[in-house]
Amino acid sequence: MIDCIFCKIAAKEIPAKIVAETELSLAFWDIAPKQPIHILVIPKQHHENVAELAAEATDYLVDLVQLGSRIASDVSTGSFRLTFNTGVEAGQTVFHAHGHITSTTPKEQVA
């Protein structure tokens, strides 16, 4: 997609603070975090939302969830959310499928 910001981030045309990536997925810090940990995980291939991704590219969906879970385990205490917004009414603002990894307690804050 020509005007998709996440496609441009996946293509490395727009810089992002990348956390990790695989052949199919890319994870980076959200520029407007809602929690101490707020990382976005996207498929490198454009799909408008997670429902479309699940219907058309299950290999990308599985890879995205596996990468997101691995990152969440690395950066959080083990309690985290991996959420997807689908559609305007659900709060989706960028129409490229993406998961939000969020947690209130980074691993390094636990004593």
Residue 85 lies in a domain: no
- Residue 11 is given by DSSP the state T
Domain that holds residue 15: 1-57+100-111
**Residue 107 belongs to a domain:** yes
Cβ pair 22, 41 in contact under 8 A: no
Q: Is the model's pLDDT at 111 over the cut of 50?
A: no
Listed in sequence order, the residues at least 6 apart from 27 whose beta carbon sits closer than 8 Å to its beta carbon are: 18, 19, 20, 21, 39, 40, 41, 42, 67, 68, 71, 101
**What digits encode the pLDDT tens for the residues 47-79?**
999 999 999 999 999 999 999 999 999 999 889
pLDDT of residue 77: 87
Domains contained in the chain, number: 1
* Entry pTM: 0.93
Within-domain flag for 41: yes
Give the domain CATH number at 15: 3.30.428.10
Whether 75 is in a domain gets the answer no
pLDDT single digits (tens) 84-106: 999 999 999 999 999 999 999 88
Give the closest residue to 43 by CA, choosing from 31, 30, 59: 59
Residue 90: inside a domain: no
To the query of whether residue 98 is one of the catalytic residues in this protein, the response is: yes
